[in-house]
Structure 1
Amino acid sequence: MNAPHGSTRVFARGSWAEASRIADVLRKETVGGVLLLVGTVVALVWANSPWAASYEALRDTRVGPASLHLDLTLGTWAADGLLAVFFFVAGLELKREFVAGDLRDPRRAALPVAAAVGGMVAPAVLYTLLNLGGDGALRGWAIPTATDIAFALAVLAVISTHLPSALRTFLLTLAVVDDLLAITIIAVFYTTSLAAGWLALALVPLAVFGFLVQKRIRSWWLLLPLAALTWVFVHESGVHATVAGVLLAFTVPVVRSEAAGGPGAGPGMAEHFEHRFRPLSAGVAVPLFAFFAAGVTVGGLSGLVESLGDRVALGIVVGLVAGKVLGIVGASWLVTRFTRAEFADELGWPDLVGVALLGGIGFTVSLLIGELAFGAGSERDDHVKVGVLVGTLLSALLATVVLRLRNRRYRRIEELETLDADSDGIPDVFQRGTVRDEADHDPDWRGAPPPGRTAGGSADG
């Protein structure tokens, strides 16, 4: 059934070009997620082995010029330096989504943005309620707010589910917006001291970098030194250095200039940089950060129980597992309830719950905020790591159960999407009707009615 006049289908199928691009992004992120898992497992095994001292010695090894205050440990270089690459790619993806992607329409962007905000507010509230008191635990309120897209997509790869492309786009966009909000929280709430002079100085190489990329200059020998200077000056300012990655990304143009042939002439600068840096981010930066950040000595079952006895760890687990679902699903319900937005006919609330559970897979940014909140290597930071790992594991297991139950339905949708592809290589459903239009002719179709509609297609209320 078609949407009423003036309403907007949220989670509706986007363009074929956008669906293909998202699929390509997800394939790359999935590989990175597997490497992240490997790095995490190696760190945990090493940190809980008889050779744990060698792991700590490696993590705490200092390298870099002391004269520039850059004699940092390898663990700090991973958190401050490598994650700047991660946030550069995330910033490019976010800008591209809202400038040239299917989410450039504010009505379609409203749901994932609202869901991302809800998915950060609810975990923070639950964590705060569980940690009211004067022992300093409230400083970690932002730890369970972030979603790790690489880890979430790695779980999807293991599940091997036929998740509809619209929900995959939603998950990717939600996680990118989530990361942007998280880095904003880091800049605002976890900057202990601010050197305004260094921050102002960072604007100089940033402006030159922005000028060059706006002129479509791609020379690495010009851009990389400017990016490095921006990072150094932001690092010296007291603001977390990963903010530099986001700022640099926002200067990169998305759409090709008219002189270069316009939007239809091929990939723009943002897509070019994504292509170059995403493998470095997903395959090197994030796995190495996980390797240096996840190595916590648990101390067996008794140590695990002791760590979870700290309300900081408990608040993180509750925030990731319950808070993410409440926030994402609740915000989505509010958007569909009080606006003209409606779910596409082939989707229902169980689909959203499954994605919301994936949103509870927090790792990279959660561990980073934990270090900033309580200090790297502190006892409470170790409890943070346990809480993040346990919350992530529980969210992943619950998401697996929900999405596997929906797997047959997803597979059927995917089969319908690929029916009768023409010689142009674009499935017909991207050129005519909806999946439900095709499914109406299938007697075996057993899709649940979308939110706000009955099985007969009438709207509630």
Structure 2
Amino acid sequence: MKILVRKFLEKESTPGIFLMGITILALIFSNTFLSEFYNTFLHTKIEFKIGSILEISKPLILWVNDGLMAIFFLFVGLEIKRELILGHLSSFSKIALPAIAAVGGMLVPALIYVFFNYNNEFALKGWAIPTATDIAFALGILSLLGKRVPVSLKIFLMALAIFDDLGAILIIAFFYTADVSVLSLSLALLCIIILFIMNRMKITAVSVYILVGIILWIFVLKSGVHATLAGIILAFTIPLNVQNEKNKRVSPVKRLEHNIHFWVAFYILPIFAFVNAGIDLRSLSLNEIVNPVSLGIICGLFIGKQLGVFSFVYLAVKFNLAKLPNGTSWAQVYGISVLTGIGFTMSLFIDSLAFADSSMFSYTDKLAILIGSILSGLIGYLILLKVKGKKQVSE
């Protein structure tokens, strides 16, 4: 039994399947007699206090969105750093196609959303919601196809998602930042300087970086800049490879990435999904679902992502800026383009920043994210399943 559980947990598709199950659980809680308990649970106040020096008081949902998601972004940052230096993004030839595809995959969905909501200033805050890709879900669906999809195409999707995450980080930093506290920001900058000094001193003790990182998170939270950015900053200050006193090469980045991967996949993202995906569908009507915000999100994810990614890949190849991944066909690239419309956790996260606790859209924005993501996942899977027998270019 233990062996079967271990094999299940090690599968690429498992995090995506687990997320799907947690999402269904959240919908059950929010649409049954458990809804009152669910909403009370989400808004339970949790306080952290150190005398009169420090006080953080937030509802549970914000502790998840600001706190646990900082750990998620730490993991993302570690992955980006490793790939940029040693991995699939370490040269121009490797990054050209996924980088260009990611730009298209963010630009076109944003334009589609703006097209639907250009005359509503408040609704325009959500322009970035359909620009995101949930890599856990996308890779999970891709893994269900097994050998029908070449490894090079999986690497392309991973690299594209990494650039997508970079884009999300920049969007959060520049467009979803509240009024800034100069004092807190200055103290956060001091923490960053300390982290870089530690890096230059080649300190390998991950626990020391984490300690300073927690202090950094507190100051970033208090500064008005979104606290999750502390995770990214921390990741980029941790050394990738260091020669220790025994003349052995150690990698704090790889060690930390390995240690938190399981927690991110099976605790942090599922908890985030549980507290954010609970949508009360009992009083929804068709008129509420087809409002401009919902249409902008659904069309942005399902149409905008595939159109943006595929068209930018086509132009990049046509103008010899990049080449298709080895062993892939245009039909497979199109299928992957459709899969990038699975926004889910990242879209829900940006939605929580854009509209905060506003009830203006009666949760239809979250429902739209689910609809757009489900359509993209289902259609993308069917396309890739259908083109499995197509002759491919050899390695």
TM-score by length of 2: 0.90
Tell me what 1:277 maps to.
260
Task: Map residues 377-388 of structure 1 onto 2, 5 A cutoff.
Answer: 378-380=359-361, 382-388=363-369
Are residue 395 (structure 1) and residue 376 (structure 2) matched?
yes
Following the alignment from structure 2 to structure 1, what is the Cα–Cα distance between the partners of residues 209 and 261? 17
Q: Structure 1 residues 260 and 320, CA, compared in 2 at 3 Å: closer, same or farther?
A: farther
Following the alignment from structure 1 to structure 2, what is the Cα–Cα distance between the partners of residues 408 and 227? 49
Tell me what 1:164 maps to.
150
Tell me what 1:51 maps to.
34
Are residue 137 (structure 1) and residue 118 (structure 2) matched?
no
Tell me what 1:36 maps to.
19
Following the alignment from structure 1 to structure 2, what is the Cα–Cα distance between the partners of residues 62 and 267? 42
Give a deviation string over 1:33-60, Cα, whole Å, max 9, x none: 2222222111111101122010000010
Following the alignment from structure 1 to structure 2, what is the Cα–Cα distance between the partners of residues 277 and 29? 16
Tell me what 1:235 maps to.
221
Q: CA deviation at 1:237?
A: 0.7
Following the alignment from structure 1 to structure 2, what is the Cα–Cα distance between the partners of residues 129 and 163? 35
Q: Structure 1 residues 344 and 112, CA, compared in 2 at 3 Å: closer, same or farther?
A: closer
Q: CA deviation at 1:308?
A: 1.8
Tell me what 1:90 maps to.
76
1:371 partner letter: S
Query: Secondary structure of the equivalent of 1:223?
Result: helix
Are residue 209 (structure 1) and residue 195 (structure 2) matched?
yes
Following the alignment from structure 1 to structure 2, what is the Cα–Cα distance between the partners of residues 256 and 169? 27
Q: CA deviation at 1:121?
A: 0.4
Following the alignment from structure 1 to structure 2, what is the Cα–Cα distance between the partners of residues 310 and 403? 32
Query: Secondary structure of the equivalent of 1:70?
Result: strand
Q: Structure 1 residues 207 and 144, CA, compared in 2 at 3 Å: closer, same or farther?
A: same
Q: Structure 1 residues 56 and 219, CA, compared in 2 at 3 Å: closer, same or farther?
A: same
Bigger mean CA deviation after superposition, 134-143 or 217-226: 217-226
Following the alignment from structure 1 to structure 2, what is the Cα–Cα distance between the partners of residues 280 and 28? 15
Query: Secondary structure of the equivalent of 1:104?
Result: coil
**Contact 1:47–1:55 at 8 Å: present in 2 too?**
yes
Q: CA deviation at 1:206?
A: 2.7
Q: CA deviation at 1:267?
A: 5.7
Following the alignment from structure 1 to structure 2, what is the Cα–Cα distance between the partners of residues 243 and 407? 40
1:295 partner letter: G
**Contact 2:152–2:325 at 8 Å: present in 1 too?**
no
Give a deviation string over 1:96-143, Cα, whole Å, max 9, x none: 111111321112211111111110000000010111213521111011
Query: Secondary structure of the equivalent of 2:323?
Result: strand
Tell me what 2:4 maps to.
none
Q: CA deviation at 1:173?
A: 1.4
Q: Structure 1 residues 211 and 171, CA, compared in 2 at 3 Å: closer, same or farther?
A: same
Query: Secondary structure of the equivalent of 1:65?
Result: strand
Query: Secondary structure of the equivalent of 1:407?
Result: coil
Following the alignment from structure 1 to structure 2, what is the Cα–Cα distance between the partners of residues 259 and 115? 43
Following the alignment from structure 2 to structure 1, what is the Cα–Cα distance between the partners of residues 129 and 208? 37
Query: Secondary structure of the equivalent of 2:76?
Result: helix
**Contact 1:148–1:364 at 8 Å: present in 2 too?**
yes
**Contact 2:241–2:249 at 8 Å: present in 1 too?**
no
Gaps of 5+ in 1: 1-25, 414-434, 438-461
Query: Secondary structure of the equivalent of 2:89?
Result: helix
Query: Secondary structure of the equivalent of 1:57?
Result: helix
Tell me what 2:163 maps to.
177
Gaps of 5+ in 2: 1-8
Bigger mean CA deviation after superposition, 134-143 or 203-212: 203-212
Q: Structure 1 residues 62 and 247, CA, compared in 2 at 3 Å: closer, same or farther?
A: same
Query: Secondary structure of the equivalent of 2:148?
Result: coil
Following the alignment from structure 2 to structure 1, what is the Cα–Cα distance between the partners of residues 317 and 209? 44
Give a deviation string over 1:346-384, Cα, whole Å, max 9, x none: 321111111111110001221122122122252426121
1:326 pairs with one of 307, 322, 325: 307
Tell me what 2:272 maps to.
289
2:77 partner letter: G
Q: Structure 1 residues 69 and 323, CA, compared in 2 at 3 Å: closer, same or farther?
A: farther
Tell me what 1:343 maps to.
324
Tell me what 2:3 maps to.
none
**Contact 2:43–2:59 at 8 Å: present in 1 too?**
yes
Q: Structure 1 residues 285 and 28, CA, compared in 2 at 3 Å: closer, same or farther?
A: farther
Following the alignment from structure 2 to structure 1, what is the Cα–Cα distance between the partners of residues 260 and 63? 18
Following the alignment from structure 1 to structure 2, what is the Cα–Cα distance between the partners of residues 28 and 210? 36
2:67 pairs with one of 57, 65, 81: 81
Following the alignment from structure 1 to structure 2, what is the Cα–Cα distance between the partners of residues 35 and 402? 23
Tell me what 2:388 maps to.
407
**Contact 1:205–1:229 at 8 Å: present in 2 too?**
yes
Query: Secondary structure of the equivalent of 1:361?
Result: coil
Q: CA deviation at 1:203?
A: 2.1
Q: Percent identity?
A: 37
1:134 partner letter: N
Q: Structure 1 residues 309 and 40, CA, compared in 2 at 3 Å: closer, same or farther?
A: same
**Contact 1:28–1:279 at 8 Å: present in 2 too?**
no
**Contact 2:96–2:321 at 8 Å: present in 1 too?**
no
Query: Secondary structure of the equivalent of 1:103?
Result: coil
TM-score by length of 1: 0.78
Q: CA deviation at 1:218?
A: 4.2
